[in-house]
C-alpha cells in the first residue's frame, strides 16, 4: 500500500486542480497526487470505533468507480493489507503466521464478512493480539542484538533488504538475519554522524523503545484506523482513509508559501520513498537525490539522525519540512542493478520553490540550417483564482504554450515543434484540455466515466488551430495524468508522433475527497476513470509511444502497473468523429500513420549508429557500478539531451516524408 505526500513547505499539502460542472453531475478531477477537498458540515467530534467502520465503508462503495459492494476478494485483500500495515518492515510476523490467518479468513469468509458489516472486528483484533505476542518475542531478540559487540554486516549482504520482492521470513533464522540487516543499516547511519559505539547503542535502544511505545498505545481507535486504511487500499492504490489527525495536518491552500525540499514522498512497506522531484525545487537542484531513493533516517542541521524505517509518513513529513534557508540531512538508500544497495548521507537546504522554475520554457534549435521549436512543459499549472477573476497575466501553462507557438511564428516559420512532457506528473485537467485545443480545431480531448457509467466529454470549443505542422510529443515513464491526456489525444487525432520511453506512467483514474460526519476524518475515493479522445484508458498501460528512444528513465521501477490492486485498463467508444459535420471540427488525420513505419525505421537506424546512445547506456551501467557522486538520471539527460536531438530528427523526417 502506498501513501504520497508532497513536501513543499512548513506545512505539507496536496495540490488541487479545478472542479468541473457537467449537466448531469459534478466531477472532481485529479491529476497525479492532486486533490480537491470537498467541505462538509461536521457534528461534534467522536472517537472512531469499530461500529463506525461499516458506515464509512458504505461511503466508499457509494462513490467508487468499480467496487459497489463488499465481496469476498475485498475482504481477503483487507486482511492481507492489515497484516502488512501492522508489520511494514517484516520483522515481527513469519510467513506461516500470515498464511494461517489468510487461510482462516478464506475458510470463514462469509461469516467474517457478516461480522464486518455488523461492526464486529473480532478477527482483526485477534490478528492484532497475535502481532503483539510476536512483538514481545522480537523485543527480547532485538534488545539482545543491540550491544557494543554488534558487528554490522557489509553492504553487499544488505542489498536485498529493500527489494520490493521481499517477503515475510519463513523461519526465525531468516527473521534474525533480516533484523540484523536492518540494525546494520541503522548502525552505519549513526556512524556516518560520527557517533562512537556507546552512543550508537544508546541511540538505537532509545529508538526501539520509542517504536515499542508506539505499538503499546494501540487501542480501538488505532486498530479501527488501520482496518479502514487496509480496506481502502484493497479497493485500488489511490483510495485512502485519513484519520482526523492526518486531515488536520493537510493544508491545501494554494496561497501557502512553497518552501521545503520539493519532493513527493510515498510510504511503501515501511520505507519512505522519493516518488518524484518538483522541477526547480531544492531536491532536484541538489543533484543528490532521485526518484525511487529510500529515505531511512532524517536529521536537522545539528543533532542526531532519526531512524524513520516503519514510521508513519505524516511524522516523516514533519521531520523533513521546514522554513527556507534551514538544512535537513537525509540518509539515503539507493538501489543498484548490479551491486549492493548503497547508503549515503546528504544535506539539502530548504528553499522557496520558484514558480518560474516550473513554468513552460521554449527555445529554437537549429539543425542543418533549419529551425525547430522546443516547448518544455514541467507541469500543468493554473492560477484558478486569477483565471476565474479574468486577471491579466494569470498563470496558465496552456497560455504559455500558446505564446511559445506565437513566438515561433514571429521569429520565422519553424520546420516543426517538439512538445516535451518528460517527467511532467500532471496538474490541472482544464489546462490539459486547453493545451490540446491549441493543436486541434473543435473536438473532444478526454472523456470521464463515473461510478454510474455516465460518460462526460471534456472538449475544446475553440475552432482555431494555433499550430498544424509536424509535431513530436516527447514522454517518459514519469509523464503522468494530464501529460498522458495531451499525448494520448494528439496521438488519437493523428497530429503527433509520440516518442520516448515505451509508455507513460499509466494513471488514468480520478479521485474525490469527502469529509466524514462527526469529525471521523475523510476518505479519498477513486470515483471515475478517464479515457483519451480515441476511447482508450491510460489506466495501468499508459500511452504507448509510436517510437521508442532509449533513455535512463525506461528502467525506472514506477508506474501504475507496479501498484497493488491497480484498476484494469479498459476502452470505450471513440469521441472523434469519422466525418466532420462542419469544417471547424477535428477528425483523425491519417497522414502520419501512412508514413509512421518509415519514420520509425529511420529513427532506429540513427539510434543504432549514434555513439552517444551507446555512451548513454554505458554511463547508466557505470553509474550503477560507481560508488561516488552519482548524478540523478534526469540530470544526466539534461547534460547531453540526445533524446531531444533524436526527437528533432524525427520532426525532420515528418517534414520530408509528408510534403
Please indicate whether residue 354 is annotated as part of the active site.
no
The predicted pLDDT at position 30 comes to 29
Residues 385 and 324 in one domain: no
pLDDT at 31 over 70: no
pLDDT at 26 over 50: no
CA torsion angle 439 440 442 444 (round to 10): -100
Q: For 206-261, write each residue's pLDDT tens digit.
A: 888 888 888 888 999 999 999 999 999 999 999 999 998 877 654 332 223 345 78
DSSP letter string, 45-72? -----GGGHHHHHHHHHHH-SS--S--H
Residues 456 and 576 in one domain: yes
Q: Tabulate helix, strand, coil % of the chain (nearest 5).
A: 40, 20, 40
Catalytic residue among 97, 269, 275, 492: 492
The predicted pLDDT at position 341 comes to 63
Q: Residue 221 domain-assigned?
A: yes
DSSP letter string, 507-535? --EEEEEEEPGGG--EEEEEEEEEEETTS
pLDDT at 21 over 70: no
Q: How far apart are the first and last CA of the chain?
A: 51
- What is the band of 331 on the pLDDT scale with cuts at 50, 70, 90? confident
Whether 270 and 310 have beta carbons less than 8 Å apart is answered as yes
Catalytic residue among 507, 524, 541, 633: 507
Proportion of the chain above pLDDT 90, given as a percent: 55
Please indicate whether residue 509 is annotated as part of the active site.
no
Q: In this structure, how many other beta carbons lie within 10 angstroms of the beta carbon of residue 604?
A: 13
The predicted pLDDT at position 256 comes to 31
Residues 397 and 320 in one domain: no
Residues 378 and 479 in one domain: yes
CATH of the domain at 324: 2.30.42.10
- Higher pLDDT, residue 159 or 591: 591
Tell me how far apart the alpha carbons of residues 540 and 562 are, in angstroms, rounded to a whole number: 9
C-alpha gyration radius of the chain: 26
β-strands 417-420, 471-475 pairing:
parallel
Q: Which range among 32-36, 52-56, 211-215, 226-230 shows the weakest confidence by mean pLDDT? A: 32-36
Please indicate whether residue 286 is annotated as part of the active site.
no
- What is the band of 618 on the pLDDT scale with cuts at 50, 70, 90? confident
If you average pLDDT over every residue of the chain, what do you get?
84
The predicted pLDDT at position 259 comes to 59
Whether 251 and 524 have beta carbons less than 8 Å apart is answered as no
Residues 165 and 263 in one domain: no
Q: For 488-501, write each residue's pLDDT tens digit.
A: 999 999 999 999 99
pLDDT at 33 over 50: no
List, in sequence order, every beta strand (DSSP E) within 451-567.
455-460, 471-475, 497-500, 509-515, 522-532, 547-548
- What is the band of 277 on the pLDDT scale with cuts at 50, 70, 90? confident
Residues 201 and 174 in one domain: yes
Q: For 552-590, write each residue's pLDDT tens digit.
A: 888 877 789 989 999 999 999 999 999 988 999 999 999
Structural domain total, the chain: 3
pLDDT at 638 over 60: no
* 236 phi and psi angles, rounded to 5 deg: -175, 170
Residues 346 and 489 in one domain: no
Residues 457 and 587 in one domain: yes
Tell me how far apart the alpha carbons of residues 244 and 153 are, in angstroms, rounded to a whole number: 41
The predicted pLDDT at position 340 comes to 55
Q: Residue 452 domain-assigned?
A: yes
pLDDT at 391 over 70: yes
Tell me how far apart the alpha carbons of residues 523 and 244 are, in angstroms, rounded to a whole number: 11
Residues 132 and 271 in one domain: no
The predicted pLDDT at position 516 comes to 93
Please name which of 559, 568, 571 lies closest in space to residue 532, comparing C-alpha atoms.
571
pLDDT at 617 over 60: yes
Catalytic residue among 481, 503, 558, 586: 481
Residues 502 and 424 in one domain: yes
- Domain hosting residue 328, numbered range: 259-352
Residues 86 and 231 in one domain: yes
Q: For 411-444, write each residue's pLDDT tens digit.
A: 888 999 999 999 998 888 899 999 999 999 999 9
Mean pLDDT of the 94-106 span: 97
Q: For 139-197, write each residue's pLDDT tens digit.
A: 999 999 999 999 988 877 776 666 656 789 999 999 999 999 989 888 887 776 667 88
Proportion of the chain above pLDDT 70, given as a percent: 85
Q: Which range among 42-56, 95-109, 581-595, 610-624 shows the weakest confidence by mean pLDDT? A: 610-624
Amino acid at each position: 500500500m502506498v501513501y504520497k505526500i508532497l513536501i513543499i513547505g512548513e506545512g505539507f499539502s496536496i495540490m488541487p486542480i479545478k472542479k468541473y460542472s457537467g449537466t448531469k453531475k459534478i466531477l472532481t478531477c485529479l491529476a497525479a497526487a492532486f486533490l480537491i477537498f470537498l467541505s462538509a458540515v461536521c457534528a461534534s467530534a467522536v472517537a472512531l470505533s469499530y461500529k463506525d467502520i461499516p458506515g464509512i465503508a458504505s461511503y466508499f462503495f457509494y462513490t467508487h468507480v468499480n467496487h459497489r459492494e463488499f465481496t469476498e476478494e475485498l475482504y481477503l485483500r483487507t486482511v492481507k493489507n492489515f497484516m502488512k500495515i501492522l508489520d511494514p518492515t517484516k520483522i515481527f510476523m513469519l510467513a506461516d503466521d500470515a498464511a494461517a490467518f489468510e487461510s482462516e479468513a478464506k475458510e470463514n469468509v462469509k461469516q467474517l464478512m457478516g461480522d464486518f458489516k455488523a461492526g464486529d472486528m473480532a478477527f482483526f483484533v485477534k490478528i492484532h493480539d497475535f502481532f503483539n505476542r510476536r512483538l514481545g518475542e522480537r523485543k527480547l531478540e532485538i534488545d539482545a542484538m543491540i550491544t557494543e559487540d554488534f558487528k554490522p554486516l557489509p553492504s553487499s549482504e544488505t542489498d536485498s533488504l529493500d527489494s520490493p520482492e521481499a517477503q515475510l521470513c519463513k523461519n526465525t533464522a531468516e527473521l534474525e538475519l533480516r533484523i540484523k540487516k536492518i540494525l546494520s543499516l541503522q548502525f552505519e547511519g549513526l556512524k556516518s554522524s560520527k557517533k562512537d559505539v556507546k552512543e550508537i547503542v544508546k541511540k538505537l535502544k532509545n529508538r526501539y523503545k520509542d517504536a515499542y511505545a508506539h505499538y503499546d498505545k494501540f487501542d480501538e481507535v488505532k486498530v479501527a484506523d488501520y482496518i479502514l486504511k487496509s480496506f481502502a487500499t484493497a479497493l485500488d492504490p489511490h483510495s485512502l482513509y485519513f484519520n482526523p489527525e492526518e486531515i488536520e495536518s493537510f493544508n491545501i491552500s494554494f496561497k501557502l508559501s512553497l518552501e521545503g525540499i520539493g519532493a513527493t514522498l510515498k510510504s511503501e512497506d515501511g520505507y519512505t520513498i522519493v516518488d518524484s522531484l518538483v522541477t526547480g525545487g531544492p531536491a532536484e537542484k541538489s543533484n543528490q537525490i532521485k526518484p525511487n531513493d529510500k529515505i531511512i533516517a532524517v536529521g536537522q542541521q545539528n543533532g542526531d539522525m532519526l531512524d524513520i524505517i516503519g514510521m508513519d509518513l505524516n511524522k516523516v513529513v514533519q521531520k523533513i519540512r521546514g522554513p527556507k534557508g534551514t538544512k535537513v540531512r537525509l540518509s539515503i538508500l539507493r538501489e543498484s542493478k548490479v551491486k549492493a544497495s548503497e547508503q549515503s548521507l546528504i544535506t539539502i537546504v530548504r528553499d522557496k520553490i520558484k514558480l518560474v522554475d516550473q513554468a513552460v520554457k521554449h527555445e529554437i534549435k537549429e539543425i542543418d540550417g533549419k529551425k525547430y521549436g522546443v516547448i518544455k512543459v514541467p507541469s500543468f499549472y493554473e492560477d484558478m483564482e486569477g483565471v476565474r477573476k479574468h486577471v491579466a497575466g494569470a498563470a496558465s501553462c496552456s497560455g504559455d504554450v500558446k505564446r511559445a507557438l506565437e513566438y515561433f511564428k514571429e521569429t520565422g516559420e519553424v520546420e516543426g515543434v517538439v512538445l516535451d512532457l518528460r517527467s511532467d506528473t500532471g496538474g490541472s485537467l482544464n489546462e490539459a484540455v486547453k493545451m490540446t485545443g491549441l493543436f486541434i480545431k473543435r473536438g473532444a480531448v478526454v472523456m470521464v466515466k463515473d461510478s454510474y457509467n455516465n460518460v462526460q466529454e471534456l472538449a475544446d470549443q475553440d475552432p482555431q488551430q494555433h499550430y498544424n505542422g509536424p509535431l513530436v510529443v516527447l514522454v517518459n515513464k514519469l509523464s503522468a495524468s494530464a501529460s498522458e491526456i495531451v499525448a494520448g489525444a494528439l496521438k488519437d487525432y493523428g497530429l503527433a508522433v509520440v516518442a520516448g520511453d515505451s509508455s507513460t506512467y499509466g494513471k488514468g483514474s480520478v479521485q474525490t475527497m469527502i469529509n466524514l460526519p462527526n469529525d471521523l476524518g475523510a476518505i479519498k475515493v477513486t470515483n471515475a476513470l478517464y479515457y483519451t479522445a480515441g476511447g482508450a484508458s491510460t489506466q495501468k498501460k499508459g500511452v504507448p509511444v509510436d517510437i521508442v528512444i532509449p533513455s535512463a528513465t525506461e528502467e525506472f521501477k514506477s508506474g501504475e502497473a507496479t501498484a497493488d490492486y491497480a484498476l484494469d485498463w479498459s476502452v470505450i467508444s471513440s469521441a472523434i468523429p469519422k466525418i466532420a459535420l462542419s469544417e471547424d471540427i477535428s477528425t483523425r488525420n491519417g497522414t502520419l500513420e501512412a508514413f509512421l513505419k518509415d519514420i520509425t525505421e529511420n529513427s532506429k537506424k540513427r539510434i543504432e549508429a549514434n555513439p552517444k546512445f551507446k555512451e548513454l547506456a554505458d554511463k547508466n551501467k557505470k553509474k550503477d557500478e560507481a560508488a561516488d557522486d552519482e548524478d540523478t538520471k534526469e540530470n544526466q539527460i539534461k547534460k547531453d539531451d540526445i533524446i531531444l536531438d533524436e526527437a528533432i530528427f524525427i520532426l525532420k523526417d515528418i517534414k520530408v516524408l509528408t510534403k
